[in-house]
């Protein structure tokens, strides 16, 4: 897969997402707590647009009658049938070893300064190209 510049860090604030087509693939890019993740925008269940689903948290294992809610902003739910996936790994919550969504590497790169090039004035005089230094 090639390198694709999505935008500036400020264009994707914490908790936001953007869905783009890159190399004929629909991919969702997410900012989760200042970390960036990318998932294929297709639910493995019935090919729903997964990245359009709500982003929430989940309940954690706990004692009977006790409910521990955590991981807010890290779990995406399929908008069609509610299947849940971890945005940080692409793994499903119900069967993380067999059901997962393709993930893609995301990096924040510093903008590289282009080397300056010294230029000179150029003019055309009587059909002659002349450079002035």
> Which positions ≥6 away from 108 have C-beta within 8 Å?
9, 36
Cα–Cα dist 95/50, whole Å: 17
Indicate whether 115 belongs to any domain: no
Indicate whether 56 belongs to any domain: yes
CATH number for 22: 2.102.10.10
Give tens-digit pLDDT for 9-20. 888 999 999 999
Indicate whether 15 belongs to any domain: yes
Indicate whether 130 belongs to any domain: no
Indicate whether 129 belongs to any domain: no
CB atoms within 10 A of CB 59: 12
Number of domains in the chain: 1
Report pLDDT for 83.
94
Q: Is 30 in contact with 15 (CB distance < 8 Å)? A: no
> Which positions ≥6 away from 106 have C-beta within 8 Å?
29, 36, 37, 38
> Which positions ≥6 away from 13 have C-beta within 8 Å?
31
Indicate whether 95 belongs to any domain: yes
Indicate whether 116 belongs to any domain: no
Domain hosting 41: range is 9-110
Q: Is 75 in contact with 51 (CB distance < 8 Å)? A: no
Full-model pTM: 0.77
Residue 91 banded pLDDT, cuts 50, 70, 90: very high
């Amino acid at each position: 897969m090639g390198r694709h510049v999505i935008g500036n860090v400020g264009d994707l604030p914490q908790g936001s997402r953007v869905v783009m087509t890159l190399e004929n693939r629909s991919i969702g890019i997410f900012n989760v707590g200042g970390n960036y993740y990318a998932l294929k925008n297709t639910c493995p269940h019935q090919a729903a647009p997964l990245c359009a689903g709500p982003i929430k948290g989940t309940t954690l294992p706990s004692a009977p009658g006790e409910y521990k809610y955590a991981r807010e902003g890290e779990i995406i739910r399929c908008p069609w049938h509610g299947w849940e996936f971890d945005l940080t790994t692409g793994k499903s919550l119900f069967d993380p070893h067999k059901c997962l969504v393709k993930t893609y590497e995301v990096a924040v790169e510093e903008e590289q300064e282009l080397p300056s090039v010294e230029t000179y004035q150029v003019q055309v005089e009587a059909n002659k190209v002349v450079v002035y230094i």
